[in-house]
């Protein structure tokens, strides 16, 4: 193999198997308002290599083995992957954002290029803030497609410079969702193999506490709905 400079001149060393890597820091042009985040262009004599950062936004309430499968796949494709938990004040989640963050951090501790963060507002605005170039989303079945397509196209309308990348989790997780995990666990079914062990334990603890609370209210002669409204009032 003959190595050459970019302008075509031969590198010293003849046929030696030498590969040179040079780094260019590209900065966004003030003349082009379109999204153009700075990134390190690691070029080598064997061709350009772009460093791509992606975000994987979601609710993760709770994170499942399907989420983990997608994170692992994403971490192999992207140089950097940020799992971004939406802070949504309108939802009544099973887990607080802090709990979800801890679970995801533990689940991804072995993946060096994966980090966990939280955000509110528009996903595209968050992506811009962290200088990501792509949004990763999972598609399990055709039923996911319509919603995901709608979201991807809206995100593209809002920010044309960002790409949405869809990946499929393993087939064994194609029926799995956080909503079903919560429902099965709340009705006493097993969620083993659907979520990592540490998440299973946390879900059990949460549901045991909720059951104890309901039983106490029922034995005090209240209907579940009376108990609920009381507990809501207490929170306020």
Q: List interacting residues with ligand PNS (CB under 6 A).
A: 57-59, 86, 122-123, 151, 154-155
Q: Which is nearer to ligand PNS, 3 or 66 (CB)?
A: 66
Would you say 43 and 20 are in contact if contact means Cβ atoms under 8 Å apart? Answer: no
Give the catalytic positions in this structure: 67, 91, 140, 178
Residue showing the smallest CB distance to ligand PNS in the complex? 58
**3-state secondary structure (DSSP) of residue 39:** strand
Would you say 20 and 49 are in contact if contact means Cβ atoms under 8 Å apart? Answer: no
User: Minimal distance in Å, beta carbon 151 to ligand PNS?
Assistant: 4
Spatial CB neighbours of 84, under 8 Å, sequence gap ≥ 6: 55, 56, 57, 58, 116, 117, 118, 119, 123, 126
**How many Å apart are CA 70 and CA 231, to the nearest integer?**
37
User: Minimal distance in Å, beta carbon 155 to ligand PNS?
Assistant: 5
Q: Which is nearer to ligand PNS, 36 or 150 (CB)?
A: 150
Q: Which is nearer to ligand PNS, 61 or 80 (CB)?
A: 61
User: Minimal distance in Å, beta carbon 185 to ligand PNS?
Assistant: 18
Q: Which is nearer to ligand PNS, 3 or 155 (CB)?
A: 155
> Between β-strands 47-50 and 114-119, what pairing exists: parallel, antiparallel or unpaired?
unpaired
Q: What are residue 83's phi and psi, to 5 degrees? A: -80, 115
Choose among 164, 173, 180, 182: nearest CA to 141.
173
User: Minimal distance in Å, beta carbon 66 to ligand PNS?
Assistant: 11
> End-to-end alpha-carbon separation of the chain, Å?
72
User: Minimal distance in Å, beta carbon 150 to ligand PNS?
Assistant: 7
Q: In what order do the strands lie in the sheet with 80-86?
A: 114-119, 80-86, 53-58, 134-138, 163-167
- CA dihedral 185→186→187→192, nearest 10 degrees, is 10
Instruction: Give Cα 213 to chain centroid, integer Å.
Output: 33
Q: Which is nearer to ligand PNS, 108 or 123 (CB)?
A: 123
């Amino acid at each position: 193999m003959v190595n050459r400079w970019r302008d075509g001149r031969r590198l010293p060393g003849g046929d030696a198997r030498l590969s040179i890597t040079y780094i260019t820091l590209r900065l966004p042009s003030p003349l082009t308002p379109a999204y153009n985040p700075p990134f390190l262009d690691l070029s080598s004599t064997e061709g350009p290599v772009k460093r791509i950062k992606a975000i994987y936004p979601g609710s993760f309430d709770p994170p499942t083995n399907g989420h983990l499968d997608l994170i692992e796949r994403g971490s192999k494709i992207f140089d950097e992957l940020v799992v971004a938990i939406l802070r949504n004040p309108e939802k009544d989640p099973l887990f607080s954002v802090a709990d979800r963050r801890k679970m995801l951090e533990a689940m991804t501790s072995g993946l060096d290029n994966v980090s966990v963060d939280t955000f509110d507002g528009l996903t595209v605005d968050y992506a811009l803030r962290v200088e990501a170039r792509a949004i990763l989303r999972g598609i399990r079945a055709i039923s996911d497609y319509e919603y995901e397509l709608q979201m991807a196209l809206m995100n593209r309308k809002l920010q044309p410079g960002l790409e949405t990348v869809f990946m499929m989790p393993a087939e064994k997780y194609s029926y799995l969702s956080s909503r079903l995990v919560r429902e099965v666990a709340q009705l006493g079914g097993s969620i083993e193999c659907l979520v990592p062990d540490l998440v299973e334990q946390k879900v059990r603890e949460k549901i045991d506490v909720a059951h104890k609370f309901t039983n106490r209210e029922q034995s005090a002669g209240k209907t579940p709905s009376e108990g609920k409204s009381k507990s809501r009032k207490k929170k306020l």
